[in-house]
């Protein structure tokens, strides 16, 4: 498993990291080979992931084929940290982000990735914004950031729609500009990247290396400008009006089959819950649907209202492909209809995670759903990372 002699670089020179990735030995998958190269110190830069959760940002770095890898992660959720360690071989620190100091962060990484608590800015919350106690950790990070002797060159932050009109956003932008960051902001969702799921989120990307085009920095963008050609999952230009695939097509082999051989009972919405929700219009994800509702951390619990879509067994048992007229996606369920939740693996795929992602065996389905609901869409972030490093 050695490179051919004629393919070796001239003496005294080193190949670019991406060229080395292409020389992957037989028997090693791409991630394993990348880890070998990283261990040997080839072309890899360090990043820090704050509020790391189950590793959405780390997964996006991998999907974007970035030259950055997470060196340290921070989160206080023990279940999330177990999942993170299983998939990325890094144990996140449980240190309080609110109490992090300059000496712990200075000269540690060139790229900061973060997804702060969203509750201060959600429509359903009290909207206390910058005065909410849950904003303190992000405030501390920004205060520490401007004191660093060697601040990061890149910054990526994700949060809910609502952050874009917050006082915290203005505070963040002021701190970033004081360090000469060039800033671009976005409101994006997975459907723009070929994933049949709705999860509208605010994103801020910033870099100190080179300005973004003027039209990108003058507004909050509703799409990512074209980067020439599409790479990997998703589209290079999220403004393109490409219809997402149907859920039946998108889920493919990840779909849980109701064939009598699988444990489908553990994913059923309990009848007592359906009775208690009489008159409530559920978001029904059918095989022909090209959309599904955003997953929240309450998905799979008895609090089913507004936490995500459900599937009807009868529609999926036959992989119903009926033509018009089709029943409306949001409708009241009758007492005879049997509905189930998306499995964690199905929800992972709709959240852009790779099929290789695994949850620790000790986690229950509800705990896995909670982690997904608190995470982000990997595909959207991967496209933003590509754009952040494009044309430098």
Using CA atoms, how far apart are residues 174 and 210, in angstroms rounded to an integer?
Answer: 18
Q: Which of 26-35, 71-80, 124-133, 255-264 has the highest mean pLDDT?
A: 71-80
Instruction: Please report which residue ranges of the chain form alpha helices under DSSP H.
Output: 17-22, 30-39, 56-63, 78-88, 102-105, 136-145, 167-178, 214-217, 247-251, 271-276, 313-317, 344-350, 365-373, 378-388
How high is the pLDDT of residue 188? 97
Structure-model confidence comparison of residues 197 and 322, the more confident one: 197
Q: Which of 43-57, 227-241, 317-331 has the highest mean pLDDT?
A: 43-57
Catalytic residue among 118, 204, 294, 379: 118
Question: pLDDT per residue over 339-388, tens digit each?
Answer: 999 999 999 999 999 999 999 999 999 999 999 999 999 999 999 999 99
Question: pLDDT per residue over 72-121, tens digit each?
Answer: 999 999 999 999 999 999 999 999 999 999 999 999 999 999 999 999 99
DSSP 32-47: HHHHHHHHTT-S-EEE
- Report the pLDDT averaged over residues 285-306: 91
Which residue's structure tokens are 């300059």?
102
pLDDT confidence band for 33 (50 / 70 / 90):
confident
Whether residue 319 has pLDDT greater than 70 = no
Which residue's structure tokens are 């030995």?
25
Tell me the backbone φ, ψ of residue 165, rounded to 5 degrees. -115, 15
Whether residue 294 has pLDDT greater than 70 = yes
CA distances from 330 to 248, 322, 343 (A): 18, 17, 20
Give the tokens for residue 294: 């955003």
- Report the pLDDT averaged over residues 303-309: 89
Whether residue 390 has pLDDT greater than 50 = yes
Spell out the CATH class of 28-225+376-389.
Answer: alpha beta
Question: pLDDT per residue over 121-159, tens digit each?
Answer: 987 778 899 999 999 999 999 999 999 999 999 999 999
Count the Cβ atoms, other than its own, within 10 Å of residue 89.
Answer: 8
How high is the pLDDT of residue 261? 67
Which has the closest alpha carbon to 382: 251, 239, 230, 254? Answer: 230
- Report the pLDDT averaged over residues 206-235: 78
Whether residue 217 has pLDDT greater than 60 = yes
- Asked about 118 being catalytic, the answer comes back as yes
Using CA atoms, how far apart are residues 350 and 293, in angstroms rounded to an integer?
Answer: 10
Whether residue 291 has pLDDT greater than 60 = yes
How high is the pLDDT of residue 250? 96
How high is the pLDDT of residue 84? 98
How high is the pLDDT of residue 67? 86
pLDDT confidence band for 233 (50 / 70 / 90):
very low
């Amino acid at each position: 498993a050695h490179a051919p002699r004629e393919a070796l670089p001239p003496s005294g020179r080193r190949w670019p990291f991406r060229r080395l990735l292409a020389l992957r030995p037989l028997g090693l998958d791409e991630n394993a080979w990348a880890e070998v190269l990283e261990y040997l110190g080839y072309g890899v830069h360090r990043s820090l992931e704050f509020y790391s959760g189950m590793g959405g940002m780390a997964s996006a770095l991998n999907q974007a084929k970035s030259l950055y890898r997470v060196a340290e992660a921070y989160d206080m959720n023990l279940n999330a940290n177990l999942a993170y360690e299983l998939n990325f071989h890094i144990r996140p620190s449980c240190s309080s982000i609110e109490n992090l100091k300059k000496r712990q962060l200075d000269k540690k990484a060139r790229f900061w990735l973060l997804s702060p608590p969203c509750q201060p800015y959600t429509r359903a919350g009290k909207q206390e914004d910058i005065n909410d106690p849950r904003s303190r950790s992000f405030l501390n990070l920004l205060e520490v950031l401007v004191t660093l002797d060697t601040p990061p060159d890149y910054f990526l932050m994700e949060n809910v729609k609502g952050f874009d009109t917050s006082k915290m956003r203005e505070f963040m932008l002021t701190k970033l500009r004081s360090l000469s960051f060039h800033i671009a902001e976005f409101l994006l969702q997975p459907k723009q990247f070929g994933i049949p799921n709705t999860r509208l989120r605010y994103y801020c990307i910033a870099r100190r290396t080179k300005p973004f085009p003027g039209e990108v920095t003058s507004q909050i963008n509703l799409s990512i400008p074209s980067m020439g050609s599409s790479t990997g999952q998703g589209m290079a230009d999220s403004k393109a009006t490409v219809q997402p695939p149907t859920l039946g097509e998108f889920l493919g082999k990840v779909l849980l089959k109701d064939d009598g051989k699988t444990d489908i009972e553990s994913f059923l919405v309990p009848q007592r819950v359906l009775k208690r929700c009489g008159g409530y219009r559920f978001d029904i994800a059918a095989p022909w649907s090209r959309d599904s509702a955003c997953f929240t951390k309450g998905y799979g619990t008895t609090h089913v209202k507004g936490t995500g879509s459900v599937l009807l067994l009868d529609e999926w048992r036959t992989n119903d492909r009926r033509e018009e007229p089709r029943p409306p996606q949001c409708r009241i369920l009758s007492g005879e209809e049997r509905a189930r939740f998306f499995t964690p693996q199905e929800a992972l795929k709709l959240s852009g995670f790779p099929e290789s992602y695994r949850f620790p065996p000790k986690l229950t389905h509800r705990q896995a759903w909670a982690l997904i609901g608190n995470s982000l869409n990997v595909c959207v972030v991967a496209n933003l990372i590509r754009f952040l490093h494009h044309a430098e």
